[in-house]
Structure 1
């Protein structure tokens, strides 16, 4: 089975539903997969270079962003930046949210007499299938620090990353 569509998990849960067990050891989720994001900071990590300005990508709605979406946005932004700028000294790309929220899947029974399958299953917990970051409206998702002359390229890179996000986004200069 492939990834389930992001629309299933896009809704902002407020507080994640977690298992409440009578035994303390069963309260945590066993076997949660690792986040798909490989690097949270890219570009000129080494060095004492101070950048003049920064461009940020924020979300216009509360939602959960899957770690796959964060990773594909990072790849899209970094591939554009590395083509036009020197990755060793011209920019720093940062991913701000961390995907802590564990996504779970409980398959529905599509067979006859499925009511027996669901007896006593009001809120079935499901098995963990991925991770997501719970992001509030206006929260910074990506941040690119560049010099003043490279601002248009940083904006283009974050616009490419915005196509990977599940809700409308806004690219703006950070003050």
Structure 2
């Protein structure tokens, strides 16, 4: 079955997270949360911050992670950055699957038992929540900024890029 449009899941709803009570709850599709050189200490930190309250599906998180990681690792080098995904998709999305097509009215039960089956996961985000952070050296500042801009294109909410650490090292670049 085809994936539903993201607008169906964007609105914040009541949290549905207790996987011990949910049969068939899918695992997360986000492969990694920490990438790059995890042990090094980098002086500049940039963060992607959400501007609106929204649910971000796991496939959007994974797409943003992949595009940011690929851009920074190819431009700056594998050992010259650290990237961290700061949110986890805890919320389980449900869908009430309806029969469609000819003769569907005979098969369908309408809204009877319409609670829905688990189909995916999403991260619940409020305004000001840090979604993703990149740590780099000052000479790779523009690369990290572009990587976060590309990751922001995959998000269902407006975002902003904030320099959290290393302002003094970026004279004339901000």
Give the TM bin, normalised by the shorter chain. Answer: 0.7 to 0.9
Of residues 57, 74, 77 in structure 1, which corresponds to 2:65? 74
How many residues of Structure 1 are paired with residues of Structure 2 in the alignment? Answer: 162
Taking the TM superposition and a 5 Å limit, the aligned residue runs for 1:29-44 are 29-44=22-37
Alpha-carbon distance in 2 for matches of 1:27, 1:82: 38
Q: 1:119 to 1:81 in 2, by over 3 A?
A: closer
Q: Secondary structure in 2 aligned to 1:144?
A: strand
Residue 58 (str. 1) matches residue 49 (str. 2): yes
Shift of residue 112, structure 1, vs aligned partner: 3.5
Match of 1:163 in 2: 153
Match of 1:152 in 2: 142
- RMSD of aligned residue pairs (Cα, Å): 2.1
Alpha-carbon distance in 2 for matches of 1:51, 1:168: 27
Indicate if the aligned counterparts of 2:48 and 2:160 stay in contact, CA closer than 8 A: yes
Q: 1:27 to 1:152 in 2, by over 3 A?
A: closer
Indicate if the aligned counterparts of 1:16 and 1:101 stay in contact, CA closer than 8 A: yes
Structure with the higher helix share, 1 or 2: 2
Residue 117 (str. 1) matches residue 117 (str. 2): no
Match of 2:6 in 1: 6
Alpha-carbon distance in 2 for matches of 1:86, 1:18: 38
Shift of residue 171, structure 1, vs aligned partner: 1.2
Q: Secondary structure in 2 aligned to 1:131?
A: strand
Alpha-carbon distance in 2 for matches of 1:97, 1:79: 19
Query: CA-to-partner distance for each residue in 1:68-106, whole Å, 9 max, x for gaps?
Result: 00000001101110111121x210000011111111110
TM-score (norm 2): 0.85
Q: Gaps spanning 5+ residues in structure 1: where?
A: 20-25
